Homo-oligomer: A and B are copies of this chain.
Amino acid sequence: MMKKTILVTSLACAIGLGGQLSIAEAARNEPITPIPVQDKVDAPKVELGKKLFFDPRLSKSGFLSCNSCHNLSTGGADNLPSSIGHKWQLGPINSPTVLNARFNLAQFWDGRAKDLKEQAGGPIANPGEMASTHEIAVDVLSSIPAYIAEFKAVYGDKKVNMDRVTDAIASFEETLVTPDSPFDLWLKGDDAALSEEAKAGYDLFKNKGCIACHNGTGVGGTMYQKMGTVKPYTDTKTLGRYGVTGKDADKYFFKVPLLRNIELTAPYFHDASTWDLAEAVKMMGEYQLGLKLSDEETNKIVAFLKALTGKQPQISYPVLPPSTNKTPKPDRG
């Protein structure tokens, strides 16, 4: 009995190893790299960050949470031209997805936050978005014993401050990756994972020059580029990167958006000028590359883009600890 068990185990190992080797050998050397297997995470911190991400009490009104505009049900964005903020203010720019945002070189369209942690504090205190202040946000959380206990468990003492709040939110956001898209499976060596049309679309994506900006793990997010490199773009009000650097050369420059899960995050571009992915592809050809893509070419590229939709994060919806009599009251305005 014992002998037989060992034999079977060894055989399974051999098959497993063989399988891994053959995939490793076949893995393709491409300018887009698969989303890596998730690192080990600090589970209690991620859990705290998830609660904060979904907690509407971080907004002045008690109604808006991070998830309101970066909705994990809908590709990590809100599928609106621009987000709806406090008192129904309409934001100036399309909400970028939080999914795979860790692969961006910086956060926001203009890159004004160096990382997810720095980003997380922005909307909470932005008068047009969640419209709270960092002081009130900390007061709210500090009034809730169950939150204090979680901060203590994660950070070693009971202190609640924005450094910890944004650190926890960022830790959660870092888990929001979408591995195993058909394209990634193909990248890893599975020839059958990608349709012929999508493969042809990927070849076009490379040969026409899209890949020059949309590359890396996020298929974007690695650089800033001018919207309207070849042909001047129509929206000349939103100045992009110029707002951060003050340099004329940075006018109309934006962070190249991630194309991962792009099928899920219409409307497209910083100004949401189209809801149609095919039209978005044609516009990119025209404004960025000086190309007129045919319908056939466009459809192939769209098939490739749809193959970038990965496994969405499985989120257990958090149960938030109740407010107390000491909790500052929401103010709907």
Pick the contact of A63 from B57, B80, B323, B333 — CB < 8 Å?
Answer: B80
Q: Is the Cβ of A323 less than 8 Å from the Cβ of B84?
A: no
Q: Is the Cβ of A316 less than 8 Å from the Cβ of B315?
A: yes
A274: shortest Cβ distance to chain B, in Å?
10
Q: Is the Cβ of A84 less than 8 Å from the Cβ of B56?
A: no
Q: Is the interface of A mostly helix, strand, loop or mixed?
A: loop
A256: shortest Cβ distance to chain B, in Å?
22
Q: Which residues of B have CB within 8 Å of A71?
A: 56
CB nearest neighbor in B for A71: B56
Asked whether A78 is an interface residue with its Cβ less than 8 Å from the other chain, the reply is yes
Pick the contact of A323 from B57, B62, B73, B266 — CB < 8 Å?
Answer: B266
Q: A73-B54, A276-B325, A330-B79 are in contact. Are A317 and B315 (CB under 8 A)?
A: yes
Asked whether A74 is an interface residue with its Cβ less than 8 Å from the other chain, the reply is yes
A139: shortest Cβ distance to chain B, in Å?
15
Asked whether A229 is an interface residue with its Cβ less than 8 Å from the other chain, the reply is no
Pick the contact of A75 from B57, B90, B322 — CB < 8 Å?
Answer: B322
Asked whether A207 is an interface residue with its Cβ less than 8 Å from the other chain, the reply is no
Q: Which residues of B have CB within 8 Å of A315?
A: 316-317
Asked whether A329 is an interface residue with its Cβ less than 8 Å from the other chain, the reply is yes
A332 to B95, CA, bound (A): 15
Interface size counted on chain A using CB atoms at 8 A = 41
A147: shortest Cβ distance to chain B, in Å?
13
Q: Is the Cβ of A72 less than 8 Å from the Cβ of B317?
A: yes
Pick the contact of A319 from B56, B57, B73, B81 — CB < 8 Å?
Answer: B73
A307: shortest Cβ distance to chain B, in Å?
14
Q: Is the Cβ of B79 less than 8 Å from the Cβ of A62?
A: yes
Pick from A57, A75, A266, A317 the residue with the most CB of B within 10 Å. Answer: A317
Q: Which residues of B have CB within 8 Å of A72?
A: 317, 319
A333: shortest Cβ distance to chain B, in Å?
8
Q: Show 19 residue pairs from A and B whose CB-CB distance is below 8 angstroms, ordered by the A residue.
A: A56-B79, A57-B79, A61-B80, A62-B78, A62-B79, A63-B68, A73-B319, A73-B320, A74-B320, A79-B323, A80-B330, A80-B332, A88-B333, A90-B332, A263-B322, A264-B322, A275-B325, A315-B316, A316-B317
